[in-house]
Amino acid sequence: MVREYTYSSHVDFYIEKVDRQNAYNMDTFHIHHKFEIYYEVEGTRRYFIEDAAYIVNAGNVVLIGENQIHKTNAVGDGPSSRIVVNFSHEYLDEISKAFPELDFCTFLNEEDNHLLSGLSVKQQNHIQSVLQQILALQEEQSPEREAACKMLLATLLLDLKRMCEDQRRLGGENGRVTNRIVDQIQAYISEHYAEKLTLTDIANHFYISPYYLSRLFKKSINLSLIEYINGVRIKAAQNLIEKTNDSISEVAEKTGFMTTAHFRRVFKDATGLSPQQYRQYFKRVNK
């Protein structure tokens, strides 16, 4: 099976525009130490970020912070088009140092800013225009290309930050799809992810049928129950890899994986790196 990734763990900046005639669903969630800007040009999609799902329509912007779990799926069978930008904090180092009073990226981590959905046509056109300019720069070989790309991205981030502030100030919807039972199950998984968790055990704990739990979770969160559990475990594993000297097998055991081999496979599917490569990468970018 061909797996499609919209980022590269080894580069500080990546941009891509994809047009699809048919429905496309990501095979699995993924995580990266990068920020992400996702602009829906055409179509409607369901986007899972961290512990919530959002409905994303044409003209909406999705903002994803560093190390946040995410996955997107189609809504309907129609065509879709989107532009995705991934960039590391380090990519804008020169501009951040030139303007130390400005915070270009922190707002991308905030839950209330995951979806910009109430943008005017003028704002939508502006965002799309800047992204198209950045895309066009990727085809150039001029010495000014890198500087122009970074300045355009920095300007776009300041614009998006103001739009997020305006959306909150005006009381705009954050677009989150919620369900009380699912929220309770997520809290339970957060507390017990290191233990053996099965669909049947969790269903019994909440006095619902396994079939109902499976359907409800997929509909509300855009992930299967096991995908969500694995996502919580992978984030916990990343934290251990970054902050301890535990062996990979110890990390796997502490985060609820039954075997080290299974842990390695799920971790690479989610991050694009093996646990050992991730540890090396984290040390390199945090020197």
- The CATH code of the domain that includes 243 is 1.10.10.60
Specify if 7 maps to a domain.
no
Domain end call among 169, 200, 227: 169
Specify if 45 maps to a domain.
yes
CA dihedral 84, 123, 112, 271 (to 10 degrees): 0
pLDDT at 172: 61
Question: Do 206 and 165 lie in a common domain?
Answer: no
Average pLDDT, the chain: 87
- β-bridge pairing 80-87 and 35-42: antiparallel
Token pair 């140092």 in the structure block, residue: 97
pLDDT at 223: 77
Percent of the chain with pLDDT over 90: 49
Question: Do 88 and 129 lie in a common domain?
Answer: yes
| 2 phi, psi to nearest 5 deg | -80, 125
- Total domain count, the chain: 2
Confidence of residue 285 (pLDDT cuts 50, 70, 90): low
The domain of 271 spans 178-285
Cβ atoms of residues 46 and 73 within 8 Å: yes
Question: Do 79 and 144 lie in a common domain?
Answer: yes
Question: Do 163 and 100 lie in a common domain?
Answer: yes
Specify if 43 maps to a domain.
yes
Question: Do 165 and 95 lie in a common domain?
Answer: yes
84-100 mean pLDDT: 94
Domain end call among 136, 169, 202: 169
User: Listing from the earlier edge strand, what are the strands of the sheet with 115-116?
Assistant: 13-20, 80-87, 35-42, 61-64, 115-116
Question: Do 146 and 22 lie in a common domain?
Answer: yes
Question: Do 152 and 207 lie in a common domain?
Answer: no
Specify if 1 maps to a domain.
no
pLDDT tens readout for residues 211-239: 999 988 887 776 788 988 998 899 899 88
Specify if 231 maps to a domain.
yes
Specify if 28 maps to a domain.
yes
Question: Do 184 and 68 lie in a common domain?
Answer: no
Residue 256: pLDDT above 90? yes
Burial track 200-235 (b if 16+ CB lie within 10 A, e otherwise): eebbeeeeeeeeebeebbeebbbbebebbbbbbbbb
Question: Do 18 and 68 lie in a common domain?
Answer: yes
Cβ atoms of residues 46 and 219 within 8 Å: no
Question: Do 200 and 83 lie in a common domain?
Answer: no
Global pTM reads 0.76
Specify if 240 maps to a domain.
yes
CATH number at residue 22: 2.60.120.280
Question: Do 97 and 123 lie in a common domain?
Answer: yes
Cβ atoms of residues 219 and 192 within 8 Å: no
Residue 131: pLDDT above 70? yes
Domain end call among 138, 169, 200: 169
Specify if 2 maps to a domain.
no
Residue 69's identity, in one-letter code, is: I
257-266 mean pLDDT: 94
Question: Do 149 and 183 lie in a common domain?
Answer: no
